[in-house]
């Protein structure tokens, strides 16, 4: 059996966890084809992402003419199938902000993808994120019968569940993956009880690039000025503007500190303006997008990682920080409390509270290296037990096997390789 992965933009800078998942599946014997709706080649900085891009076929690279040719060719060859696709596109497009025309374009993309899947002898399609990539996967299923599954991360899927036809996607999917218990509960909200059995928990994982790093404790950091790091897209939901308000308050109290914002995004210019307005040019720097190795170095050189998010699924960067023995400060949002435990491996604060966030950072700045190391090591235990990418890939491989076996398909790998031996 050959599996295909479909993502809206792959490989994307902030989606290294998908690359790790695919690599782990291939390491246990699956054959995986990569497909992306759009290209993001110009954004790539990590050599591993650049290599992965060479393995990925981009649907929209066919251009408008290619979409039309594939759509018309499919319509002529399979008129009944294309009618089913049009009917479904109209049904979900009518209730969507994207509109009917956009969904007909998704249908044309599905026609392109279906041809490629046939050529690659793909027998099952798996999509990450329940938004437009899963729309294309569902339409591909409607016109060509290929089964699909998808992984839901949140928060967008839950915020826009009706708009993206989440219930329809669950109903038609072979199975659905949630990355945390919170996410699974939200999926339960958007489908009938009879569909719950197809919703499974497979966590995002960290690979050996993190687990095999030499232990570098807080007491070994060369800088005399305490450094904090925040890794993530510069956007509303990550809470960096709130973080700047906390840093401003602490600087005014006389604390010496450095904050490194690793990432880029739509709020960069606004955040840069606030840094100037708050007179924090010496305390805060923005790196832009960074490679995996650079992210590791930024985390290792910090006392703690901070992610004051307003909305999330379960951020992979928290797992990465724990794997590198660093405690984290984050918020009581979505799946985060499933990983971060206050006073054990980090601090949880109410989302949107500058006062609570400032208090937690103040505690990090005052805490001894030994105490920080103890919390970081507790985080390492948590992520090792629950977020090892190889363990999670085996769970996903079992799902592919057990669900698709009903269609008389086989993975072609031994039960021992899947961890299913007796």
Q: Do 393 and 24 meet the contact criterion of CB atoms below 8 Å apart?
A: yes
Rounded to 10 deg, the angle between the 79-93 and 99-119 helix axes is: 140
- Per-residue confidence (pLDDT) for residue 416, from 0 to 100: 47
- Per-residue confidence (pLDDT) for residue 419, from 0 to 100: 47
Distance between CA atoms of residues 83 and 87, nearest Å:
6
Distance between CA atoms of residues 54 and 31, nearest Å:
16
- Per-residue confidence (pLDDT) for residue 421, from 0 to 100: 42
Sequential DSSP letters for 61-129: GGHHHHHHHHHHHHHHH-HHHHHHHHHHHHHHHTTSTTHHHHHHHHHHHHHHHHHHHHHTT--EEEEES
N residues, the chain? 422
- Per-residue confidence (pLDDT) for residue 224, from 0 to 100: 76
CATH numbers and ranges of domains, the chain = 2-205+388-407 (3.40.50.2000), 208-386 (3.40.50.2000)
- Per-residue confidence (pLDDT) for residue 363, from 0 to 100: 97
Sequential DSSP letters for 276-320: HHTT-TTTEEEEES--HHHHHHHHHTSSEEEE--SS-S--HHHHH
Closest C-alpha to 36, from 8, 60, 16, 17: 8
- Per-residue confidence (pLDDT) for residue 409, from 0 to 100: 40
Q: Do 316 and 17 meet the contact criterion of CB atoms below 8 Å apart?
A: yes
CA 119, 122, 128 angle in degrees (round to 5)? 120
Whole-model pTM: value is: 0.91
CA 185, 337, 358 angle in degrees (round to 5)? 135
- Per-residue confidence (pLDDT) for residue 214, from 0 to 100: 72
CA 160, 166, 171 angle in degrees (round to 5)? 170
With a cut of 70, which residues of the chain have pLDDT below it?
216-223, 404, 406-422
- Per-residue confidence (pLDDT) for residue 14, from 0 to 100: 84
């Amino acid at each position: 059996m050959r599996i295909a992965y479909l993502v809206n933009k792959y490989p994307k800078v902030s989606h290294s966890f998908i690359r790790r998942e695919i690599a782990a599946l291939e390491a246990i014997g699956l054959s995986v084809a990569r497909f992306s709706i759009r290209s993001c080649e110009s954004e790539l900085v990590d050599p591993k992402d650049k290599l992965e891009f060479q393995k990925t076929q981009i649907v929209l690279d066919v251009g408008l003419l290619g979409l039309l040719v594939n759509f018309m060719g499919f319509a002529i060859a399979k008129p009944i199938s294309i009618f089913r696709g049009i009917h479904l596109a109209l049904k979900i497009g009518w209730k969507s902000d994207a509109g009917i025309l956009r969904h007909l374009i998704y249908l044309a993309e599905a026609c392109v993808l279906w041809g490629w899947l046939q050529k690659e002898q793909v027998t099952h399609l798996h999509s990450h994120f329940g938004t437009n990539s899963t729309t294309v996967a569902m339409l591909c299923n409607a016109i060509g019968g290929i089964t699909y599954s998808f992984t839901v991360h949140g928060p967008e899927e839950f915020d826009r569940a009706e708009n993206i036809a989440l219930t329809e996607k669950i109903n038609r999917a072979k199975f659905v993956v949630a990355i945390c218990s919170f996410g699974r509960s939200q999926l339960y909200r958007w489908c009938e009880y009879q569909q719950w059995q197809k919703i499974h928990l497979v966590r995002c994982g960290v690979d050996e690039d993190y687990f095999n790093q030499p232990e570098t404790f807080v007491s070994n950091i060369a800088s005399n000025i305490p450094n904090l790091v925040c890794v993530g897209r510069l956007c509303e939901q990550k809470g960096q503007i709130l973080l700047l308000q906390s840093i401003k308050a602490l600087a005014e109290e006389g604390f010496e500190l450095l904050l490194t914002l690793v990432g880029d995004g739509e709020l960069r210019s606004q955040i840069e303006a606030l840094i100037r307005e708050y007179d924090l040019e010496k305390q805060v720097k923005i790196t832009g997008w960074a490679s995996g190795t650079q992210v590791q170095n930024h985390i290792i050189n910090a006392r703690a990682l901070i992610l004051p998010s307003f909305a999330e699924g379960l951020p992979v960067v928290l797992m990465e920080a724990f794997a590198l023995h660093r405690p984290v400060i984050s918020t009581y949002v979505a799946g985060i409390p499933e990983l971060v435990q206050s006073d054990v491996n980090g601090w949880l604060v109410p989302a949107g509270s500058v006062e609570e966030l400032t208090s937690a950072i103040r505690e990090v700045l005052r805490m001894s290296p030994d105490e920080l190391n103890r919390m970081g090591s507790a985080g390492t235990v948590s992520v090792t037990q629950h977020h090892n990418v190889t363990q999670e890939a085996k769970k996903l491989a079992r799902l592919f096997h057990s669900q698709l076996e009903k269609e008389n398909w086989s993975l072609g790998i031994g039960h021992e390789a899947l961890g299913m031996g007796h």
